[in-house]
Amino acid sequence: MLRADDLVFAHPGQQKSYHFSLEARPGEVTAISGASGSGKSTLLDLLAGFIAPVSGTLTLDGEDLLSFPPEARPVSLLLQADNLFEHLSAQDNAALGLPRGTPKATGLQQVAEALAEVGLAGFEAKQVANLSGGQKQRVALARTLLRNRPVLLLDEPFSALDDDTRRTTRELVGDLTRRHKWHTVLVSHHADDIAALASVHYRIVAGRLERV
Ligand SMILES: Nc1ncnc2c1ncn2[C@@H]1O[C@H](COP(=O)(O)OP(=O)(O)OP(=O)(O)O)[C@@H](O)[C@H]1O
Ligand SMILES: [Mg+2]
């Protein structure tokens, strides 16, 4: 269980402060909605460790996460238009998720498996610039798979996709979450994404997370 307990934060120079408490269970998608500017991305930044709360606790299975810098947290972050390297192949982009020092042959095998798991078997050598938006999100998910972190944070990951692609991509996120027991926290303002994917839904109202 990922658990935030009264994480308090205010952006420098801003009066309004946030008090975030939530629970996200393994194998489930926990959705976060809220008006533009309500603090959704701020919440993900706190969970990922890009900003630090002034007080509160954040734990995964009881272990403190706040003392870890972003790169050492058991967390992956996937954004709307994920920063893939357009001039590199699908394989090379996905391989960025591998732990440092993975032997080449093992790495290639794992990348091939991850690309197959996201439905991109045979796309290894394709340059990312030549892939569709949905295929790019799948490459980013393959990289996330190889990072193999138990917490997945998604910030409007389907916004740039057309309706059909958005449906298949979100099904994939649901499947991967269940299969790998990820604690997936999904920021979305799309009611159908939330209805299709989320077991639990919080809305940010006046700086606090309210169960919907
Ligand atoms: N680095 C920053 N410094 C100061 N204020 C910030 C900073 N980042 C965000 N804010 C402010 O904090 C508030 C919450 O921003 P945040 O990006 O978390 O909103 P959001 O819910 O993700 O909005 P959107 O749906 O538009 O992405 C906004 O008022 C924003 O202007
Ligand atoms: Mg945002």
User: Which residue is closest in CA terms to ligand 1's atom 13?
Assistant: 37
Last residue of a domain, one of 105, 124, 148: 148
Looking at the fold, whether 134 and 175 belong to one and the same domain comes out as no
pLDDT at 32: 98
Looking at the fold, whether 50 and 69 belong to one and the same domain comes out as yes
Parallel, antiparallel, or unpaired for β 55-60 and 198-205?
A: unpaired
pLDDT at 80: 66
Looking at the fold, whether 70 and 88 belong to one and the same domain comes out as no
What DSSP character marks residue 14?
A: -
Q: Pick the atom of ligand 1 nearest to 45's CA.
A: 18
- For the chain, how many residues are written? 212
Last residue of a domain, one of 116, 148, 180: 148
pLDDT at 81: 64
- Ligand closest to CA 50: 1
Looking at the fold, whether 43 and 103 belong to one and the same domain comes out as no
Q: Whole domain around residue 96: which residue ranges?
A: 82-148
Task: Provide the token pair at 20.
Answer: 């975030």
51 Cα–ligand 1 center, Å? 12
pLDDT at 189: 87
Looking at the fold, whether 23 and 88 belong to one and the same domain comes out as no
pLDDT at 157: 85
Torsion, Cα 169 171 175 178, to 10 degrees, reads 110
Q: What is the mean pLDDT, run by run of 10 residues, along the chain of 212 residues?
A: 97 93 98 96 96 97 96 87 86 93 92 94 95 91 92 89 88 94 95 94 97 94
Looking at the fold, whether 31 and 96 belong to one and the same domain comes out as no
The CATH number that applies at residue 59 is: 3.40.50.300
Looking at the fold, whether 97 and 118 belong to one and the same domain comes out as yes
pLDDT at 158: 85
Looking at the fold, whether 4 and 44 belong to one and the same domain comes out as yes
Q: Pick the atom of ligand 1 nearest to 44's CA.
A: 18
Among 42, 186, 190, 193, the mutation site with the greatest number of ligand 1 atoms within 8 A of its Cβ is 42
Q: How far is CA 166 from CA 27, 133, 143, in A?
A: 20, 10, 19
What DSSP character marks residue 12?
A: T
pLDDT at 82: 67
Last residue of a domain, one of 108, 133, 148: 148
Looking at the fold, whether 33 and 57 belong to one and the same domain comes out as yes
Q: How far is CA 64 from CA 47, 106, 182, in A?
A: 12, 32, 18
Is 41 close to ligand 1, i.e. is its CB under 6 Å away? yes
pLDDT at 160: 79
